[in-house]
Structure 1
């Protein structure tokens, strides 16, 4: 009897463990975050504020610390060993929009360990979308940038101080600190067997170069010819032109903290001289390096830089860090593409966008911060031929944080796409999750229509301090269904925790016009918990249905206070 009882207990504990493991939400984060407002400081704690065009709103937790005088600091005790650091900071812009400079000095237990020069030239945008760099346009956004620092020796219990200093060339009137990440990164990887290094003199013009564009091209060509892989060793390698990635290619780096493909700031205004890795085949594998662009403006008629193109079938993109590009990744015409463990930081537009012809592909365990458009997006557009029927894509175990425009994760059409087990935090300029027909998904000749079909699923997500002011759409809800001129059928939202929404918790809205009316059908909310909404703007609700919405919604076993349906053409079934 006792053995049977013990067996039952073990099974229950095992099942509980499995259940908890399955319910993990967000990416596995290898760093520890220290919020500036929680540190000891001689500066000024700012926030919280929740309205648009304010640095506090774009800050983590809508709070930050401002250091004005020389010697002002923030300091904290490290909870872990670490050898690298990220500081998220904001400096003022200059009157001409070219940015300012400052210095942050790092101390461990009172001893200076690093002088860190920072600039604001990759921050600050103004005016209406797609924005300008001119301060005269007003309504600023994109206040923050980040700096990566490695080769540190931080021990658990060390007192870490970050002090503002005024050194030669510094002209910033203040330094704002939002947060600090500490990470203990592994040593650099070694070159794989049967790999070719881009630093091999055989690939360089005259055996020596400071621009590795041609060397990388030559190395790729030889690797494809010989069946070997491309090796990017530790170091920073300047790239000033397009790199086309053919089928059956592997590019391996020493690690995202060690191997970097970097743009040339003096050439980056030329859209053809940027860091752009363009997929052009199947079975392409990219891993363990960083792409650092030099883009500080947005023009949508210019091609994307970062990782772009088609990756055919069965390609992988793993452990890539991308920043200061237009997008992190904008991929098309790929099936069974797996993007894992990547970091998108401070891009001018999307973090990762699955666009034309994306099928059965996955974004897993990726993080975004400071993107200038949707952190993660699925948009089955038709502006070029699609090789695969778009749908059945998955965004899973990802964390989206602090974009300065748009949403955490957005789905704009396609068949049976899914967002699962994700974490969305501080999505202040839009929705944490947006399901919308805003963008076109039908070909001009109407032979292809990639509007929503099957069942679109959003499940097992935690959503915090999201649902802010979108300049084109007013205040968005933390989770929003936008039935804009076209109908949506088949949405299943389940097991969502929505907390501290800046506006409404969840809403159904529409922008009907020209006789076009979209209708929402076959949509269910199940086990939705919404608490503490309207912290940024008054008069909001747990669930709101706008007056131009049409259709119906089923609500099951949910904790939603204050439901307000102001549409005569919409029905809520509880």
Structure 2
């Protein structure tokens, strides 16, 4: 979730916030032919954390190639920064990258980037796929769903002038409306959202050791390959005792619109207490399918695809393919169960008022399992009040905005074992606007490469748990884990548990403030953060800047504070700057927090920048067992403020002894 910052004048006042050069960690080209990673790490470093959906990840920069590695880079608006592991391989026509299957597989997913068209709108280009030099497929890649530019909420026009000429522009260090002459920015301005992915069934199963070669044919566009996921996909699921949508006139070829036929199947299934079955095929649906007290089952997300294009509505709004519960104001829906199909949208620009999400509405006592959601605005945006929803085992990729968002009074629900990659906003968010999200669990999910905002963000709420997740490679204006009093959210209450998560290559450079964030960051913008926050058993690996950050926006730094935060049994392996950065009033406790490879100082304590004789307005309590990063003289509130700390790229993380 992302909206414009506070006023340009207020942002300009934050002159103490630092500019820091982001340092990347080099990743060697080549390496073991069948090197398997998770979030570009050795799997042993993240064992037991994140989602497990049965596929094997292999990074292109670790595979034999005749192409060229981009070179590791974490700088926003660079192509490498948006790649998994912050590196990828560029293939010119005639070049290839070759992956050795680590396990038997009959399906692959290729994550890639193609150039945009000169005036926007994307390009298409072929990519040849061969296995052991024999079986050949041709994938038609596209960048039609990639490449956004300029200021929020972005445009797909690379030649556009500033969308908001009165906003703070980091690149010129000025407030344009107060600057003569007006700033000149290079075009395209702030290019991003550069990657996409495509899936391919190989037609048969190949054993471990088979070599999958991706080649760019002559005359095709230069193609950047980020990674290959390989897996064994089970045969199509068949549901015999069900309302088969084909009987009601649905077209599995995708040539005719099947929305009305699916509606008829849903109505019949409710009447007869049957499931709705979507057999293998592609079904064209260009609006919402409203579901209540019904189960909709596909043959599997690789076989059943519900696909639509954007449809114009009166007044300039749009709709598109999606499965929606009834609006909460109408009582919402309950007993809805969706599983085993893909939702392919056609969203190419961000319009926040559009309801073009994969799954929406209010769904109580319901479940969503085994979906693949691609090219919608938000994968799942649920508006409460609603309760007892289980979201498990889904893949959400290449969204314009969030992956999953629980918005307003969503309670006692679970988001577990989901894989989310390349969102245009928060990967997973709880947003307690007007009423608390409470009693929810976000557990064992993987969130990779959110291009804007955070991997997992909690905006207000009570008694929620974030546990056993893996969050990697946030790009800009956010980080891996976020606790924020923002966006009109209700104040935090009860206890927030952030337990046994792993973050890697997090802590982005905040372009508006010109300061490096923490892998986990607490932000008091609209209210105090004073609930009991327990950060326990987490690993913060290869942090670009800080591991943990406490911050208040400059205009409110004397109004709001962050207190009652407790770190225990935490490991920090590598920071570009500090373990803790404090830019707010408040306090936190630390017990058995071990840190190594710290780039600058353990604690960068600025408080609220008043630099009083009594010390910083932020206090640290040493509860024992901490390693040398927390020096006795830094406790409780010694001022150690350095607005421009040196950035030392940390070494690659490794096992702890």
TM-score (norm 1): 0.88
**Is 1:155 the counterpart of 2:207 in the alignment?**
yes
Q: Distance in 1 between matches of 2:101 and 2:371?
A: 26
Q: Distance in 2 between matches of 1:531 and 1:268?
A: 51
Structural mapping, 1:195-234, within 5 Å: 195-200=242-247, 202-203=248-249, 210-234=256-280
For 2:383, the equivalent position in structure 1 comes to 332
The 8 Å contact of residues 232 and 259 in structure 1, kept in 2 or not, is answered as yes
**Worse-matched range after superposition: 103-112 or 262-271:** 262-271
Cα deviation for residue 485 of structure 1 reads: 3.1
For 1:276, the equivalent position in structure 2 comes to 322
Cα deviation for residue 183 of structure 1 reads: 0.8
Secondary structure at the aligned position of 1:558 is classed as strand
1:204–1:31: structure 2 CA closer, same or farther, 3 Å change rule?
closer
Q: Distance in 1 between matches of 2:416 and 2:495?
A: 20
For 1:88, the equivalent position in structure 2 comes to 111
Secondary structure at the aligned position of 1:210 is classed as coil
The 8 Å contact of residues 242 and 272 in structure 1, kept in 2 or not, is answered as no
**Is 1:553 the counterpart of 2:588 in the alignment?**
yes
Cα deviation for residue 569 of structure 1 reads: 1.3
**Is 1:71 the counterpart of 2:118 in the alignment?**
no
Secondary structure at the aligned position of 1:500 is classed as strand
From 125, 131, 143, the counterpart of 1:102? 125
The 8 Å contact of residues 268 and 294 in structure 1, kept in 2 or not, is answered as no
1:75–1:203: structure 2 CA closer, same or farther, 3 Å change rule?
closer
Q: Distance in 2 between matches of 1:273 and 1:101?
A: 25
The 8 Å contact of residues 203 and 219 in structure 1, kept in 2 or not, is answered as no
Secondary structure at the aligned position of 2:400 is classed as coil
Q: Distance in 2 between matches of 1:33 and 1:24?
A: 16
Q: Distance in 2 between matches of 1:242 and 1:75?
A: 41
Q: Distance in 1 between matches of 2:416 and 2:109?
A: 22
**Is 1:367 the counterpart of 2:367 in the alignment?**
no
Secondary structure at the aligned position of 2:236 is classed as coil
For 2:53, the equivalent position in structure 1 comes to 29
1:81–1:515: structure 2 CA closer, same or farther, 3 Å change rule?
closer
For 1:302, the equivalent position in structure 2 comes to 354
In structure 2, runs of 5+ residues without a counterpart are 1-43, 161-188, 327-332, 608-615, 623-657
The 8 Å contact of residues 319 and 355 in structure 2, kept in 1 or not, is answered as no
Query: For each residue in 1:70-127, what CA deviation from the matched residue of structure 2 results, as whole angstroms up to 9, or x when unmatched?
Result: 2100012211111111000101111110112211101111124201111111100101
**Is 1:569 the counterpart of 2:611 in the alignment?**
no
Q: Distance in 1 between matches of 2:156 and 2:75?
A: 21
**Is 1:262 the counterpart of 2:262 in the alignment?**
no
The 8 Å contact of residues 295 and 324 in structure 1, kept in 2 or not, is answered as yes
**Is 1:179 the counterpart of 2:192 in the alignment?**
no
In structure 1, runs of 5+ residues without a counterpart are 1-19, 442-449, 535-539
Cα deviation for residue 204 of structure 1 reads: 5.7
Q: Distance in 1 between matches of 2:235 and 2:311?
A: 32
Structural mapping, 1:345-356, within 5 Å: 345-356=397-408
TM-score (norm 2): 0.77
The 8 Å contact of residues 486 and 516 in structure 1, kept in 2 or not, is answered as no
Query: For each residue in 1:345-400, what CA deviation from the matched residue of structure 2 results, as whole angstroms up to 9, or x when unmatched?
Result: 00000000011110011001011001111111000112xxx6xx530111001111
Q: Distance in 1 between matches of 2:119 and 2:145?
A: 14
Secondary structure at the aligned position of 2:227 is classed as strand
**Is 1:251 the counterpart of 2:296 in the alignment?**
yes
From 21, 32, 48, the counterpart of 2:72? 48
The 8 Å contact of residues 558 and 585 in structure 2, kept in 1 or not, is answered as no
1:71–1:224: structure 2 CA closer, same or farther, 3 Å change rule?
same
For 1:39, the equivalent position in structure 2 comes to 63
Deviation >6 Å, runs of 4+: 265-270
Q: Distance in 2 between matches of 1:522 and 1:27?
A: 30
Q: Distance in 2 between matches of 1:469 and 1:347?
A: 22
Q: Distance in 2 between matches of 1:322 and 1:198?
A: 20
Count of matched residue positions in the alignment of Structure 1 and Structure 2: 523
Secondary structure at the aligned position of 1:199 is classed as helix
Q: Distance in 1 between matches of 2:153 and 2:114?
A: 22
Cα deviation for residue 182 of structure 1 reads: 0.5
Q: Distance in 2 between matches of 1:273 and 1:365?
A: 29
The 8 Å contact of residues 310 and 318 in structure 2, kept in 1 or not, is answered as no
Greater RCO, 1 or 2 (C-alpha within 8 Å, sep 6+): 2
Q: Distance in 2 between matches of 1:37 and 1:184?
A: 23
Cα deviation for residue 570 of structure 1 reads: 1.1
Cα deviation for residue 23 of structure 1 reads: 7.6
For 2:236, the equivalent position in structure 1 comes to 188
For 1:464, the equivalent position in structure 2 comes to 504
**Is 1:524 the counterpart of 2:566 in the alignment?**
yes
For 2:39, the equivalent position in structure 1 comes to none
Q: Distance in 2 between matches of 1:423 and 1:515?
A: 31
Q: Distance in 1 between matches of 2:581 and 2:275?
A: 54
Query: For each residue in 1:319-364, what CA deviation from the matched residue of structure 2 results, as whole angstroms up to 9, or x when unmatched?
Result: 1110100000001222111100011100000000011110011001
Q: Distance in 2 between matches of 1:514 and 1:110?
A: 63
Q: Distance in 2 between matches of 1:60 and 1:346?
A: 13
The 8 Å contact of residues 293 and 323 in structure 1, kept in 2 or not, is answered as yes
Secondary structure at the aligned position of 1:76 is classed as strand
Secondary structure at the aligned position of 1:224 is classed as helix
1:327–1:268: structure 2 CA closer, same or farther, 3 Å change rule?
farther
From 401, 414, 417, the counterpart of 2:464? 417
Question: CA RMSD for the aligned pairs?
Answer: 2.1
From 506, 522, 527, the counterpart of 1:481? 522
1:31–1:345: structure 2 CA closer, same or farther, 3 Å change rule?
same
**Is 1:57 the counterpart of 2:57 in the alignment?**
no
The 8 Å contact of residues 402 and 426 in structure 2, kept in 1 or not, is answered as yes
The 8 Å contact of residues 328 and 347 in structure 1, kept in 2 or not, is answered as yes
Secondary structure at the aligned position of 1:223 is classed as helix
